[in-house]
Structure 1
Amino acid sequence: MESQPAPITNQTFLKPSPSLKAYIRTPKRYVIAILLILLAAGSLHAGFLSGLATVATSIGTALILDTFITRVIRKRHKHTFPDGALLTGLIIGIVLSPATSFAVSAFTAAAAILSKHVITYQKKPILNPAAFGLWLSVILFSSNQSWWGGMSLLPWWTIILVVVGGYLVTSRVQKFPQVFAFLAAYGLIHLILGFIGLTDASSAFMTPYLNAVLFLAFFMLTDPPTSPAKNRDQIIFGILCAVVSCVDFYLFNSLSYLLTGLLCANAWKSYRTYQTNQKRRAIRTKV
């Protein structure tokens, strides 16, 4: 006797496919959704049209270049949306000042995407692409970075949006040791320097410096491909980023001190991965 096919019900059509469910819940798209909320809130005072123009330029450049490299140069024809490029362009757009020229915005995004594909180890980026692009734009063009996506141009209490959104992102990618280590080390260094009278520590906890620190900690420091997974390494990573940032700020008065700290921590993470791989190879050789 032949088995009858299962009856088609409304639940059959309403039940999401596993692939769609996984697609919606990917960490990158989760971060993008939260950043879009910050973008909408931050643009209220950043100059709506000028802010969106900067974001559109950086996102458009990132998407076009990433797609060209992936499909034309590397001949990868998988029909997947380049959400990593979208995320990179979005971060760049809401960090750069809304008054940034189209050329500088495009260059920053292009440099970020190129670093993603060129500066790699085991086919993964060594440096946070957005951080590298922003750092290079400061070095070459002294580009103004207002971090308006971190609510730096809005009343102080709106920083709650950054903290809540950042908490959700950090929880999703499991980077709490890294974020707490960075924030604790960064705050402690400023407090010690302020206590011994070398600097005014209060400025580090005021707008727009605090906004930039929190945005970097929650949305750039936590980038999974360029940051460690183990708790111990996360703590070292966060402390290293904070120390280098403070040294760069106080000794060199650098405008890109936070980005410099993050990039140095990225490089350390890559070196740490290289060391681990070398030890594993040595063990296999002995066996």
Structure 2
Amino acid sequence: MSQPKLDPRYFILAFLLSFVVMGQLFLDFFQKWDTFFASVATTMLVEVVLCRWIRKKWIFPLSAFISGIGISLILSSYLVWPYVLAAVLAIATKYVFRLGGSHVFNPNNVAVVFVLFFLSEYVVTTPKQWTNDVSVMVIILVLGLVAAYVAGRLDTVLAFAAGFVLFAYVRHAWFDEPLLFAFGPMMGASFQLFVFFMLTDPKTTPAHSSARIILAFCIAAVDAWFRIHAITNSLFYAAFVVTLLFGVPYRWMLLRRQRT
């Protein structure tokens, strides 16, 4: 008899909590514990309420817990309410934008894109507060790779990383970007959070490896185009655009095939 497998979400949870612990205890984050607890409490509460209201059942909101941590790490604001708003949006969109019985967009990606685009005077992303200390980044990198492997999305991570390297070289060689400026984001926490947290979501990435690789490569290409045109927060916008233009039609096509 086969042994039950540990839910891969626990590895993602451990990965994100490593960010929180390092940030709060060693890196003196601008965001304090109040934003962490506000984000997590809101996502979990909204998930429990909506699941009970719509699906008529009680759940332990593990996914919402993970989403709340992600929001508290990715966003930076001197106010607490943007974290609460992003947390509400992240969970609510799971119940609004659905296709084939599952949510379409990565909840955190939608929430982050919304607040960054419409509330840019209150919210930014957080790369500057992270140290570039190699030891810290290596620890997070190892945890992220383990989490991606357990979630069955290591191919997505490697495809995106390869695409980013390729287009970073293109930006350096043909668009005169300094070498360190082109490749430097790969050592940043925002990049690693995006790659190991958003790109590895099993619910919003294709089931087939080839489709995941194409999706990841497309995101890297759109991200490069945004960077060439000096659009900030390019990773998050690229993921949203590619999901909208490629991910949604791909899932709709699969549903049509299943029904015929």
2:124 aligns with one of 129, 144, 151: 144
d(CA) in 2 for partners of 1:221, 1:280: 25
Identity %: 20
Give the TM-score normalised by the residue count of structure 1: 0.81
- One-letter amino acid matched to 1:84: S
Deviations 1:208-258 (CA, angstroms, capped at 9, x unpaired): 87332222111110100001121211110110111111212222x322210
Write the letter of the residue equivalent to 2:71. I
Match of 1:179 among 143, 157, 162: 157
In 2, are the aligned partners of 1:181 and 1:235 still within 8 Å (CA)? yes
Distance change (3 Å), C-alpha of 1:165 and 1:100: farther
TM-score (norm 2): 0.89
Q: Deviation string for 1:181-226 (max 9, x for gaps)?
A: 1111111111112112432232133368733222211111010000
In the alignment, which residue of structure 2 is the partner of 1:77? 57
The equivalent residue for 2:68 is 89
2:180 paired residue number: 202
CA 1:266–1:274 in 2, change beyond 3 Å: closer, same or farther? same
Match of 1:259 in 2: 236
Q: 1:174 to 1:75 in 2, by over 3 A?
A: closer
The answer on 1:101 being equivalent to 2:57 is: no
Deviations 1:49-83 (A, max 9, x none): 84322111111111111111111x315223x2011
Match of 2:23 in 1: 42
Q: 1:36 to 1:278 in 2, by over 3 A?
A: same
Separation in 1, partners of 2:193, 2:18: 14
The match for 1:29 is: 10
Q: For the structure 1 residues 182 and 262, does the alpha-carbon distance in structure 2 shift closer, same or farther, using more than 3 Å as the test?
A: same
Q: CA deviation at 1:147?
A: 4.5
2:107 is aligned to: 129
Letter in 1 for 2:236: L
Residue 214 (structure 1) aligns with: 192
Residue segments in structure 1 that go unaligned for 5+ positions in a row: 1-17, 283-287
In structure 2, distance between residues paired with 1:169 and 1:135? 24
In structure 2, how many angstroms separate the alpha carbons of the residues matched to 1:103 and 1:28? 27
Q: Does 2:35 match 1:54?
A: yes
Structure 2 regions of 5+ residues with no counterpart? none
Q: CA 1:144/1:48 → structure 2, altered by over 3 Å: closer, same or farther?
A: closer
Shift of the 209–140 alpha-carbon distance from structure 1 to 2, 3 Å rule, reads: farther
CA distance in 1, matches of 2:164, 2:132: 23
2:161 maps to a residue whose letter is: L
Give 3-state SS (helix, strand or coil) of 1:62's partner: helix
Give me the whole-angstrom Cα distance separating, in 1, the residues matched to 2:233 and 2:256. 33
Q: After superposing the two structures, state which structure 1 stretch, 189-198 or 121-130, moved more.
A: 189-198
Shift in alpha-carbon separation, 1:242–1:208, aligned structure 2, 3 A: closer
In structure 2, distance between residues paired with 1:121 and 1:147: 33
Distance 1:42 1:121, change over 3 A: same
Which ranges of 4 or more aligned residues in structure 1 deviate by more than 4 Å?
A: none
When Rg is computed on C-alpha atoms for both structures, the one with the higher figure is: 1
Contact between 1:62 and 1:113, CA under 8 Å: does it hold in 2?
yes
What's the Cα RMSD here?
2.2
In structure 2, distance between residues paired with 1:136 and 1:240: 21
Higher relative contact order (CA 8 A, sep 6+): 2
Aligned to 2:95: 117
Distance 1:166 1:69 in 2: 30
